[in-house]
Amino acid sequence: MKLAHDQATRAQGLERLNDFAPLMGSHYAGRRNIDAGGGRKANVSQLSPFLRHRLISEPELVSAAITVHGAEAAFKFVQEVCWRTYFNGWLEHHPAVWSDFCISRDCQLESLEKDNSLKADYNSAIEGNTGIEGFDDWARELRETGYLHNHARMSFASIWLFTLRLPWALGSDLFLQHLLDGDPASNTLSWRWVAGLHTPGKTYLAKKEAIETCSDGRFSPKGLADRAPAVDGPANPAPSPLPPADTLPQAAFALLLTEDDLSVERWIPETLEVESIAAIESASFRSPHGASRKASAFTGAALNDGAHRAGVHFGAAPTLIEGIDAEALLLDWAARLKTRLIVVPYMPAGWGWDRLSPVLKTLQAEGFEVRQVRRDWDEVFWPHARKGYFKLRKQIPSCLDALGIAEGQNIDG
């Protein structure tokens, strides 16, 4: 089953972007919800794994769409790009939601070991042995490819919750283990949205007719739940101010890369003096079960690709840090630096931050200054992501104008 992300490189992301740009207008708007199955996904961009690691960026996608189709015809595609931005910004305003998910997931994993009936139902679901048409196919496709069409993800989550009545955090955790584009914000908040936790009381109920249409007639599942009562779970906390972002230094610094931003050469000037570069792996921290072989391989290859390009950009050979001793290796890398200044492209709430924040605090205690620098795209959009998506959607034209993308200029940031 060949998809458009068999290589985790910026070069392949750009190739797919160029191939799909002619379809980002009315074709995408009219066909984006159709999942014809197998490798037949030409109606959607399949760029999310590249965007997740910022091998390519939101401005590059949006600029391409507007340049080729104009702002009006491209707006549906632009909106979908901004959904991911909204989820990332929303979680930064509500970081406790990620912590709550981790607590719920761990508790639900413990319950599996105590409840044989629940464990049997869970295993049937993840192995695609429930007997539910479509759902079982998506479970297998998820494991085999690390990718699912967006409508399949919604239907899968709804059936998991309301037909199979399985715990929501275990479903979210399953996706994180396998998805090449596994993202703390988009994945967690999408599952919470289906469950009626993100928008209180508003759930998503999978229906046979919708699945028939969106699967291009492939699936017609029987016995689906006819009700979708909101799932019990923590309410949304009040939004908090965004964590402050730091500025790029003018003095020499060391650069620490994570899986969250792997095209820094697009927005950090090569004129700055970078003494050393390190890239640290954290995919294995996605879940207590780790990450699947495909997800780990994709993230590892993306990290290698991003580190190599950064090394060429700044003229500094990168060091790849991975394995169970990664924290100690990172401290050892820092101890050999001449500079006491380390720059990290901003790490949002998620497993990467959970893993690295204790190490960064140790470095700060040892006299290092650690700066987390945010991209312009996030600085402009995230302040509008405190509440519902539609408040951000209204600001898309003005945000794009502020970023210089209103006329489709090919910029980054």
Residue range 335-361, pLDDT digits in tens:
999 999 999 999 999 999 999 999 999
* Confidence at 39, pLDDT banded by 50, 70, 90: confident
| Residue 161, token pair as written in the block | 């919750």
Q: How does pLDDT run across 121-157, given as a tens digit for each residue? A: 999 999 999 999 999 999 999 999 999 999 999 999 9
CA–CA separation, 396 vs 406, rounded Å? 10
Report yes or no: 51 and 57 within 8 Å, Cβ to Cβ: yes
4 closest CA partner among 149, 188, 215, 216: 149
Average pLDDT over residues 229-234: 89
Over residues 277-323, the pLDDT tens digits come to 999 999 999 999 999 999 999 999 999 999 999 999 999 999 999 98
Please report, rounded to a whole number, the percentage of residues in the chain having pLDDT higher than 70: 97
Cβ atoms of 152 and 138 closer than 8 Å:
yes
Residue 409 has pLDDT above 60, yes or no: no
Q: Which fold has domain 104-214?
A: DNA Cyclobutane Dipyrimidine Photolyase, subunit A; domain 3 (1.10.579)
Burial letters 319-338, b for 16+ CB under 10 A, else e: bbbbeeebbebbeebbeebe
**Token representation of residue 135:** 């759902």
| Nearest in space to 269 (alpha carbons), one of 167, 349, 395, 373 | 373
Q: 72 Cβ partners below 8 Å, 6+ apart?
A: none
Q: Is 339 helix (H, G, I), strand (E, B) or coil?
A: coil
Question: Hey, where are the domains in the chain?
Answer: 10-93+379-402, 104-214, 253-373
* pLDDT for residue 24: 97
Q: Is the pLDDT of residue 2 over 60?
A: no
Question: How high is the pLDDT of residue 412?
Answer: 63
Pairing of strands 274-280, 341-345: unpaired
CB atoms within 10 A of CB 243: 14
**CATH: 2.60.40.420, 3.40.50.620, 3.20.20.105, 1.10.10.10. Which one for 253-373?**
3.40.50.620
Q: What is the mean pLDDT of residues 40-45?
A: 83
Nearest to 77 by CA among 35, 37, 17, 158: 17
